[in-house]
Amino acid sequence: MIAFIAKRLAAGLILLVAVSVGTFFLAHAAISDPTVSLLGTTATPAQREALALKLGLDRPLVEQFWNWARHAIVGDFGVSWRNFQPVGKLIAIKLPVTLSVVTFATIITALVGTIFGMVAGLHPNSAFDRAIKAISVVLFALPGFWVSLVLVVWFAIQLKWFPAVGYVTPNQSLGGWLRSITLPAVSLALGAIVVVAEQLRNEVIAVNKQDFVRTLRSRGLSSWQVNVHILRNASPAALTVLAVMFVSLLSGAIVVEAIFSLPGIGQLTNSSSQIGDIPVLLGITVVSVVFVVIVNFLLDIALGWINPKVRVK
Amino acid sequence: MSAAALSAETESRETRRASIFRRFVRTPSGLVSLAIVAAIVLVAVLAPWLAPYDPNFVDLANTKAPPSAAHLLGGDTSGRDILSRLIWGARTTLVGALVTIVTALAVGVPAGVASGYFGGRLDRGSSWVSDALQAVPGMIILLVVASGTRSNFGLIMATVGVLLAPGYFRISRSTALTIRNEPFIDAAWVSGLTHPRIIVRHVLPGVYAPIIIQTALAAGIAMGIQAGLQFLGIGVANVPSWGAMMAEGFRYMLASPLLLLWPSLVLGVTIAALAVMGSTLADLVRVRTVAPRRTVAQANAATASAAALEYSSAVRIDNLKVSYGAETGDIEVVHGVSLEVAPGEVLGIVGESGSGKSQTVFSILDLLPAGGACTFDGLWIGGKPIHGMTRRERARLLGTQIGYIPQEPMSNLDPSYTIGHQLVEPLRSVHRKSRTEARSIARAMLARVGIADVDRVMRAYPHQISGGMAQRVLIAGAITGRPSLLIADEPTTALDVTVQAEVLELLRELQSEFGMALVLVTHNFGVVADICDRVVVMRNGAIVEVNDVRSVFAAPQQGYTRELIAASLDNSETRRELDAIHAAASREA
C-alpha cells in the first residue's frame, strides 16, 4: 500500500513538474512582453523598463523559472503582477466559489447519471432508453455555456426561480448560496450527466448478462438487491468519467462563470490572461494539476474498493 | 495469405464503406443531420454571394431593428445586418473547426497508429504524453495563447486541436492494436510487405470509421470552445462570429432577446447536427445486437388453461416451448418438452450443447436470458401449479423451494463481494435471519459442503479461492434455503477431473440427506451413471428418449443415445466413471 501511494505520488510530481515547465515557457513564449499588457500602450519605455526590472523580466528565462520553482516548492507562488497581492491568497479567495459550483455539479451528475444509466441499462431499447440516447447525443455536444444561456433566459429571467447572476457565500445565507450555484451547476452537469449515464448504461447491460447475476436472482434476492450488485460491478467506467469531469470543470468553467458573474477561478484565469499576469496563471495551473493528482488518487482507491481484484496487495 | 486474398479483403472493405454511407443516408437522422451540416458548409463557402449586406456595414437606422423586409433578421446594437453577420460567422466557425480538426488529426492519428502498431517504448512514451495532455488545464492554456496572440484565431484553434489530439490518439491506437494482432497482418509481413505498406493497406482502412465518428464530435466541441472564447471577447473585432454575437445578445438580453436567439440557435443546431451525425454513424458501424423482445412479459404465461390440478411431483412441466427474438423473427429452440420429477428423484437431462437442456431448466427457474421467452401448457413445482403466477410470485420460489447450482463456478460469484456476504445476504433478506444467525448458518453450510478453512473463505473474494472451492460455495448457497428441488446445470463440467468426482459425491450426499429432488443437466453419461435415477435425452430442442438409467445403458432405444454413450466412454474423464458405466452395463447383462 505504501509502495502504491509512493508510486502515485511520484507520478503526480512528475506530471506537476512537466505541466508547470510547459505552462511557464508557453506563457512566456506567448506573452513576449508582459509590460505592454500590464502598463497599457501609453506607458513610456522607461516606465516599462522599470517594471521589467522589478518583475525580474530582465533575467534569463531559465533563471526566472528557477526563482519561481524554488519558492513554489514551499507553497509560495509569488505575487500577482497586476496588484502585487500574493497569488496563493488570490486563489484561496476564488477557489471556494468554483469548488462549490463544481462539487454541486458533480453531485447532480452522479445522482441523475446513475439513475438514468441504471434505468436505461436495465431496460435496453425501451422507450426511456431511446429517449435518453436521443437527448444525450445533443446534450453532450452542446457547450456548457450555451446551455447556461438557455437556463438563464428560462429559469432566471422568465420564471425568476433563481438569480441570474451573482454569488452568495454560505455564511451570508445557506439558501441563497444554494440558489446562486444551482443554475451554473446544472448547466455544467447536463452535459456530464449524459456521458455518465451512457457509460453506466453500457456497463449495466454487460454486467446484467453475466452468470453471477442469474445466480444472485436464483437465490431469491429482490430485483432491488440484485441491482445493487449490478451497479457496483458496472460503476468503474462511469466513476472514471465523473473524476475526469470534476477536474476539467475546475479550470474549464470559465465561460459559465462569466455568464453568471461568479467570482471564481475561471474569472481569475480570464482577467489574468488578458493582462498577461503570468504568476497567477501559473498558480492556477499548479492548483488544478494538484487536483488532478488528488482526484485520480481517490479514484484509484475507489476503484480498488469496487473491484477487489485490482486492489493493491 | 495470398496477394489475391489480401486485395479481396481490401475490396470488401471498400464496398462495406460504400454501403455504410448508403445506409447512413437512408436513416432519417443521418439524412437530416447531413443536410444541415452540408447547408452550413455551403453557406460558409458562398458567404460573399449569399450575404445581403457587408457584415460590418453600419446602418444607424437599423440599430436593434426588428426583422423587416430589408433586414430579414433585423439589426444588431450598432445597426449591422444580423443575417449577413450570421452567414459570415458560419465561415469563421467552420474555418476555426477545420483548423482544429486538421491539427488534431495530424498530431493524434499518426502517433496513435504508430503506437498501436509498433508498441513498445514508443507506445509507452506517447501514451504518457497523451495522458499528461489530458491533465493540462486546457482553458488556461487557450487563454494564455489567446492573450499572447490576441488576434490570431488560427493559432488558438490549432492549440485546441493539440488539446483534442489525445481523443484521436486513443481511438487510432486501440484500433491499430486490434488490427496488429490479427493473423493476416503477420501473414502480410511474412509475405514480404513492408510496415508502411501494411499500415496504409490494412491498418488505416480499419481506423477510418472511428475517426470519422470522432471528427463529427470533435468538430462540435471545437465550435463550442471557439464560440466560448469569442463570447469572452477573444478574437478580432471586425470578423463576425457567432460567439461574439451571443455575447452581445447576452448583454442586451432583456431589451432585445432576438439578438441572443439567432446566433444561439444557429450554433446549437450546427453542433447538434454534428453530434447526431456522429452518433448515427457510430450506430451503423457498431456490430448489431439482437433486438430484445418486447413480448417476454406476456409470453411467460401458460398457453392453455390448464386446470388447477395438483401433482405429487417435485416438478412437472407440460409442452414447454422456448424461443428467442432475432432480427429475422423468433427462433424456437425448445419445441414442446414435457417432463416430471418425483420428490427425492434424481433426473438427468443429457444432450449436446444446443440441445435445449439448459433452456429447459432456465424456463423452470424463470431465469431465461434477455430476449428469451417460454410458453407451456402447465408447470407445477412442489405439486403446486405455477402457471398463472406473476413473475414476482415465481421469484419468491427461488432460494426457498428451488435451489440452483450453475456450471462455471468462477463466473457465478459476484467478484466485488466476499463469499461471506454472498451467502449471508439471501439468508437475511429471503429467510429473515438476524445477522449473527445468518453468519452461523452460512458457516455451517460451508463446513457441510466440505470447506476446511471456513473463516478464511468467508472473508475471501471469489478470485482468492480455487474453482473447486467456488463450486462448493455455490452448492452451499443453493441449499441454504433447504429447497425441495435442486437444479444443477453441468455442475462438474468446469472442474478438474479429481474435483469432479468429489463434487458429484457431495451432491449425492446432500440430495439424500435433504431428500431433495435433483435435476442434473449434463452432457456426460458418466455423470448420469454415477448419480441419476432416470434420464431424459434431448436433441435439437426435443426429447428423444426417457428411461431409467439402467435401461438406457443396457438397451438405448435411439441411435442418438447410443452415440452419446459411446462418446462419453471415449473421453470419459475418470477411471471411476468408466467403472460405473461398466458396472451399470454388466449389471444389466
Collapsed DSSP state (helix, strand, coil) of residue A296: helix
Cell triple for residue A289? 494539476
Q: What percent of chain B has pLDDT over 90?
A: 15
Q: What is the mean pLDDT of chain A?
A: 85
CA B141-B147-B150 angle, 5° bins: 125
Cell triple for residue B505? 459425491
Largest CA distance in chain B: 113
Query: In the prediction, which pLDDT does B301 show?
Result: 43
CB–CB contact A273 B147 (8 Å): yes
Q: Which residues of B touch A145 (CB under 8 A)?
A: 224, 227-228, 231
| Confidence class for position B570, pLDDT limits 50, 70, 90 | low
pLDDT digits (tens, 9 = 90+) for B412-427: 999 889 999 999 999 8
pLDDT digits (tens, 9 = 90+) for A256-309: 888 888 888 988 988 888 888 888 988 998 888 888 888 888 888 888 888 787
Q: How many Cα atoms sit within 13 Å of A171 on the Cβ side?
A: 2
Mutation target for B interface from A23, A146, A150: give the one with most B CBs within 10 A.
Answer: A146
Query: In the prediction, which pLDDT does B575 show?
Result: 45
Q: What percent of chain B has pLDDT over 70?
A: 88
Which CATH number does A87-310 carry? 1.10.3720.10
- So where are chain A's domains? 87-310
Q: Which residues of A touch B260 (CB under 8 A)?
A: 149, 153
Cell triple for residue A175? 439558501
The predicted model gives B376-401 an average pLDDT of 84
Report d(CA B404, CA B381) in Å as an integer. Answer: 14
A311 pLDDT above the threshold of 70: no
CB–CB contact A258 B232 (8 Å): yes
Report the 3 state secondary structure along B1-68: CCHHHHHHHHHHHHHHHHHHHHHHHHCHHHHHHHHHHHHHHHHHHCHHHHCCCCCCCCCHHHCCCCCC
B59 pLDDT above the threshold of 50: yes
Report d(CA B39, CA B274) in Å as an integer. Answer: 12
CA B535-A214-B512 angle, 5° bins: 40
Report d(CA B471, CA B506) in Å as an integer. Answer: 11
The predicted model gives A248-252 an average pLDDT of 77
B581 pLDDT above the threshold of 90: no
pLDDT digits (tens, 9 = 90+) for B161-182: 999 998 889 888 888 888 887 7
The predicted model gives A45-60 an average pLDDT of 81
Query: In the prediction, which pLDDT does B458 show?
Result: 93
H or E stretch at B321: strand B315-324
Nearest-by-Cβ selection for A219 from B260, B275, B399: B399
Nearest-by-Cβ selection for A273 from B144, B220, B481: B144
- Label residue B445 exposed, middle or buried (CB < 10 Å: 0-12, 13-18, 19+): buried
pLDDT digits (tens, 9 = 90+) for A204-243: 988 988 899 999 999 989 889 999 999 999 988 888 888 8
| Confidence class for position B584, pLDDT limits 50, 70, 90 | low
- In this structure, which amino acid lies at residue A291? F
Q: What is the mean pLDDT of chain B?
A: 82
| Confidence class for position B1, pLDDT limits 50, 70, 90 | very low
Q: Which residues of B touch A30 (CB under 8 A)?
A: 144-145, 147-149
Q: Are A19 and B136 in contact (CB under 8 A)?
A: yes
Nearest-by-Cβ selection for B135 from A30, A220, A292: A292
B573 pLDDT above the threshold of 80: no
B307 pLDDT above the threshold of 50: no
pTM for the model: 0.79
The predicted model gives B237-241 an average pLDDT of 81
pLDDT digits (tens, 9 = 90+) for B243-278: 888 888 888 877 777 888 888 889 989 988 988 888
| Confidence class for position B300, pLDDT limits 50, 70, 90 | very low
- Range scoring the smallest mean pLDDT among B80-89, B435-444, B457-466, B573-582: B573-582
